[in-house]
Amino acid sequence: MTWNWEIPGWPHLDWDSDQLRQAEERFLLNSGMLAGTVQHLEPGERQQLTVEAMSLEALTTSEIEGETLDRASVQSSIRRQLGLGGDSGRAKPAEQGIAEMIVDVYRTFAVSLTEETLFAWHRMVTLGRTDLRDIGRYRSTLAAMQIVSGPAHSPGVHFEAPPSGRVPGEMARFLKWFNRTAPEGPEPLPALTRAGVAHFYFESIHPFEDGNGRIGRAISEKALAQSARQPTLTALAATILLRRKEYYQALQAANRSLEITPWLRWFAGIVVEAQNRTQARVLFLLDKAKLLDRLRGMLNPRQEKALLRMLREGPEGFSGGLSAGNYMRITGASSATATRDLADLVAKGAVIRRGQLRHARYELSIGLRPVQRVTVGEDGSIL
């Protein structure tokens, strides 16, 4: 079987720019709209958005690789990294390491990508690991680097990366390409194209013993931020996680060819969808601030606790709506008290009731914004 890096002409990848033009325009438009909307947030809300977005990225980029991290620990680590305080308890290595990388991507998005940066990121994402031979350097083992699945006696090989002896040279070419194609470089590429090619190119080399997926997605975030000329805070990893099976299928389908237009169309749709997700969260924060300001001093402690719990679910709302039973579990209220409290929340316009009696469910009165799937068609249209 021939892999892309074995094909004559590698690493010169091909794609149809016309099929990406509408998505590129939408990315730039969304970037401007998002920046403008964020300006309407109060400083505290802007800070909250930054911490939440970075925490979501850290959690979901790890979950894509099958690693579940503690949300509170990750968020606290990010707050400390940003100098915003945080829980004094020491985070576990995995949470601390991914938080450090996400913050570093956020802070240094504008500078060139170097080997030293990649090695530092690798040390961060493998913090506390004792099972790896090569940490903070490219893989050196002579064994083939393969992506496999299935039973150990008969695994299916989805991809085999270049042998370790080729990695330093391949990565030198990759870094040169990435920096030359930056917005201020001599050969600039459009935002989505560059970010998508960068991710695919890096994953094709698979330079590290582990952590390639997380670092590859960080490189895409860096590319997008450089094109937007500011940290993007897009929910890229969160959106990829929702489409994880497709993500791996799209990468696998592209790794036997140098023509990668289908991969770039898939990736472009994911980025635009991720922008929509972030925009929905910003608008939700604005609505949340208005709601809490209007209800200030009008709620009892139980109602306030339940409302804040519902708001914590974000723009897509409390799954299935809040029931009287949920309310009792959250607040410790009796059945009769829960009934009175919920009726009062409806009367004050904090929540809306759907259904009757034991089927009644309560939703926030502010508009929820479920984000729709975005795809880029073969004709370049955004669906």
pLDDT of residue 358: 84
pLDDT of residue 153: 67
- At 370, list the tokens: 């479920």
| Architecture category of domain 299-383 in CATH | Orthogonal Bundle (1.10)
- At 134, list the tokens: 């090569």
Q: What percent of the chain has pLDDT over 70?
A: 97
Q: Is the pLDDT of residue 222 over 70?
A: yes
Examine domains 4-281 and 299-383 and report if their fold is the same. no
Confidence of residue 371 (pLDDT cuts 50, 70, 90): confident
Domain boundaries along the sequence of the chain: 4-281, 299-383
pLDDT of residue 368: 65
Say if CB 164 and CB 145 are below 8 A apart: yes
4-281, CATH topology level: Fic-like fold (1.10.3290)
Say if CB 20 and CB 265 are below 8 A apart: yes
pTM, full prediction: 0.91
pLDDT tens readout for residues 285-322: 999 999 999 999 999 999 999 999 999 888 777 778 89
Q: What is the CA radius of gyration of the chain?
A: 23
Q: Is the pLDDT of residue 118 over 70?
A: yes
pLDDT of residue 310: 93
Q: Which segment of 96-105, 155-164, 308-317, 342-351 scores lowest on mean pLDDT?
A: 308-317
SS (H, E, C) 52-118: HHHHHHHHHHHHHCCCCCCHHHHHHHHHHHCCCCCCCCCCCHHHHHHHHHHHHHHHCCCCCCCHHHH
